[in-house]
Amino acid sequence: MEKKRVLVSGGAGFIGSHVTVELIEAGYDVLVADDMSNCDSTCFEGVKKITGRDDIPFVKMTFCDAAATEKLFADWKIDAVIHFAAFKAVGESVAEPLKYYKNNLESFMNVIEAARKRGCNILFSSSATVYGEPDILPVTEQSPRMPSTSPYGNTKQMCEDILRDSVKAYSSIKGIALRYFNPIGAHPSALIGELPRGVPNNLVPFITQTAIGKRECLSIFGNDYPTPDGTCQRDYIDIVDLARAHVYAVRRMLDGKMEQDYEIYNVGTGTPLSVLELVKAFEKVNNLKLNYKFAPRRDGDVTAIWADPSLANEKLGWKATRTTEETLAAAWAWEKHLAGK
Ligand code: WQD
C-alpha cells in the first residue's frame, strides 16, 4: 500500500523536527516546509542523521504566500498536514501584535484553503495557554478558554476557531487541535533539541545554558505563589512524548477513526511540577549544582496549570511515558552537544 505523506509546516523547528522523526519512524513519508525565520538547519540536519534518511523533501517557503502554499499542495500529494509554522514568542507578540496576527492567522488560513480543496485533514499545534489562569485544576478539554494575556495566545484561540468553523463549513476536511502544555527536553540522540535565539524565555533552556556557563544565574520568577513551595507549577511534557502524540493523532485522522469533525486534545503528563522541583531534579539527575536565585514574579505568568490527559489517553491511545529525569538528562546532553562537549 502506498505510504501516506504528511506535510509538516514549520518542520525545521524544535517541535516540528521531533515530530518529523517520529512520523518517519512510524512509516509515514514527510514533506517539511519552513521559512527558516526562527531556526537554522541544525535540527533538520539532525533529523536526517537520526532517521538515516538523506532524502526528506524540504521546501523553504512562507505560508503567508497564498500562491506558494497552493503550489505546494498542487506539487505534492499530501494526505494530512501538521501546522506548526507560526511566531511563538509571547513577549515579542505583545510588542508587535500586527506581525503576530498577520503571520499566524494568514499562514493558517492559506493552509486550510489549499487543504480543503484536496480533502487533506489538518492537525493544529495549539497550546494550553488558551486556558489562561484556570480556576479548576487539572484542566480538561471542556475547561473554559480564558481571554489571552498575549497576542500570541490569542492567535492560538483564533486559529482553533478558524479550524473549527472551517471543518464545519467544508465537508472535505476534518481537524484536530493538540493543546500542548510545556514542551521540554531533546531527542535522546542529542542531535535535535531546543534552539532559542538570544536569551531564552523558557525555563529549561535557561537552566541548561546556566549550567553550561552561557548564563550567569537562573532567576526563579517568584517564590511567593500560593503553591506548596511558592514557585509556579506547570505540566512539563517531554518533547518526544509530545511528538508521538502527533503520530497517534495523524493515525486517527488517516485511519478514519475520528468521531467528530473537529477534536481537541490536551497533551500533557497530568502531573504538576514546580519550578523549584524541576531545578532540583535537573541538579540531581545531572549531578551538578545550578546557580539560581529567587527574583520577582514575571508579568503574565499563571500560578499553576496542568492537564487532565485522559481524553488523549483514551481516544488517541497515547500516554506520556518518559520520566522527568530522562527528559532533563536529554536536555543537558543536548546543551553539551551544542557546546561541542
Ligand atoms: C515556566 C515557568 C516561569 C524562565 C510558555 C508560553 C506557552 C508555551 C510554553 C508556546 C514559569 C518560570 C521561566 C526563567 C523562571 N509556549 N521561569 N525563570 O510561561 O509556562 O509557557 O512556554 O506555546 O505558550 O507561555 O513557560 O518556560 O517560560 O516558564 O522562573 O528564566 O518557569 O515564571 O513559572 P510558560 P516558561
The number of the ligand 1 atom at minimal distance from the alpha carbon of 207 is 31
Q: Which residue has the cell 492560538?
A: 156
Query: Does the bond joining 134 to the residue before it have cis omega, within 30 degrees of 0?
Result: no
| CB distance 93 to 151 below 8 Å | yes
Specify the residue with its C-alpha closest to ligand 1, atom 32: 203
Residue 170 among the catalytic residues: no
For residue 27, the surrounding DSSP H or E stretch is: none
Amino acid 40: pLDDT = 87
Q: Using the mean position of ligand 1's atoms as its centre, give its distance from the Cα of residue 204 in Å.
A: 9
Specify the residue with its C-alpha closest to ligand 1, atom 30: 220
The helices-and-strands tally (H runs, E runs) of the chain is 11, 13
Nine cell digits for residue 91: 513577549
> Which of 204, 301, 303, 306 most suits a substitution to test ligand 1, by most atoms within 8 Å of the C-beta?
301
| CB distance 102 to 64 below 8 Å | yes
Nine cell digits for residue 22: 517520529
CA 88 from chain center: how many Å?
A: 10
> Which of 184, 298, 305, 327 most suits a substitution to test ligand 1, by most atoms within 8 Å of the C-beta?
298
Give DSSP secondary structure letters for 170-196.
Answer: -TT--EEEEEE-EEE---TTSSS----
Give, in degrees to the nearest 5, the angle at Cα 241 between 223 and 40: 85
Q: Using the mean position of ligand 1's atoms as its centre, give its distance from the Cα of residue 340 in Å.
A: 27
Nine cell digits for residue 224: 511567593
Nine cell digits for residue 243: 511528538
Q: Using the mean position of ligand 1's atoms as its centre, give its distance from the Cα of residue 159 in Å.
A: 21
Taking the CB of residue 4, how many other CB atoms lie within 10 A of it?
19
CATH code reported for the domain at 5-185+236-269+309-317:
3.40.50.720
Q: Using the mean position of ligand 1's atoms as its centre, give its distance from the Cα of residue 201 in Å.
A: 7
Query: What residues line ligand 1, using a CB cutoff of 6 Å?
Result: 88, 90, 127, 129, 182, 201-203, 206, 218-221, 232, 234, 275, 298, 301
| Ranges of each domain in the chain | 5-185+236-269+309-317, 203-233+271-308+325-336
For residues 25-46, b (16+ Cβ closer than 10 Å) or e, as one string? eeebbbbbbbbeebbeebbbeb
Question: In the Cβ-directed half-sphere of 61, how many Cα atoms lie within 13 Å?
Answer: 23
| Each residue's pLDDT expressed in tens, for the chain with a length of 341 residues | 789 999 999 999 999 999 999 999 999 999 999 999 988 899 999 999 999 999 999 999 999 999 999 999 999 999 999 999 999 999 899 999 999 999 999 999 999 999 999 999 999 999 999 999 999 999 999 999 999 989 999 999 999 999 999 999 999 999 999 999 999 999 999 999 999 989 999 999 999 999 999 999 999 999 999 999 999 999 999 999 999 999 999 999 999 999 999 999 999 999 999 999 999 999 999 999 999 999 999 999 999 999 999 999 999 999 999 999 999 999 999 999 999 98
CATH code reported for the domain at 203-233+271-308+325-336:
3.90.25.10
> Which of 214, 213, 190 lies closest to 332 in space, CA to CA?
190
In angstroms, the CA 245 to CA 239 distance is: 10
Amino acid 2: pLDDT = 86
> Which of 262, 78, 120 lies closest to 178 in space, CA to CA?
262
Give, in degrees to the nearest 5, the angle at Cα 84 between 147 and 31: 165
> Which of 105, 237, 107 lies closest to 178 in space, CA to CA?
237
Q: How far is CA 203 from CA 191, 278, 312, in A?
A: 20, 9, 26
Kindly name the residue from 100, 131, 152, 262 that is annotated as catalytic.
Answer: 152
| CB distance 239 to 188 below 8 Å | no
Amino acid 149: pLDDT = 86
Amino acid occupying residue 253: M
Q: How far is CA 335 from CA 23, 46, 162, 238, 271, in A?
A: 25, 14, 37, 16, 25
| CB distance 151 to 218 below 8 Å | no
